[in-house]
């Protein structure tokens, strides 16, 4: 289900579970080298692109996935900035646990 826009027209903050599902779909935290938002996409660099699971990403509600070697673009819509921050926060938390 897509988040409802707030009063400024921006999408409401997606559930942290969506960020977690995207991490899992990208092959797990240890597989993600870099992630950055770009308008409606999450541009990511992964260690091993064979670990990327498009079915998991699509079940998380992403609109599409584009791959070129180790670069994976996850099309998420206008919530890209918020999702990127949620993912970075979860990755940092996981790093702190090790």
Point out the residues that are catalytic: 38
The CA distance from 16 to 97, in Å, is: 18
Cα–Cα distance measured from residue 98 to residue 71, given in angstroms and rounded to the nearest whole number = 26
Number of H helices, E strands in the chain: 3, 4
């Amino acid at each position: 289900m897509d988040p409802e826009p707030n009063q400024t027209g921006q999408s409401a903050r997606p559930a942290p579970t969506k960020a977690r599902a995207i991490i899992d779909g990208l092959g797990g935290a240890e597989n993600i080298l870099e992630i950055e938002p770009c308008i409606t996409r999450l541009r990511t660099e992964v260690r091993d692109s064979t670990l990327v699971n498009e079915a998991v990403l699509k079940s998380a509600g992403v609109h599409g996935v584009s791959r070129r070697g180790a670069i994976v673009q996850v099309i998420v819509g206008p919530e890209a900035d918020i999702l990127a921050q949620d993912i970075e926060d979860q990755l940092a938390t996981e790093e702190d646990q090790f």
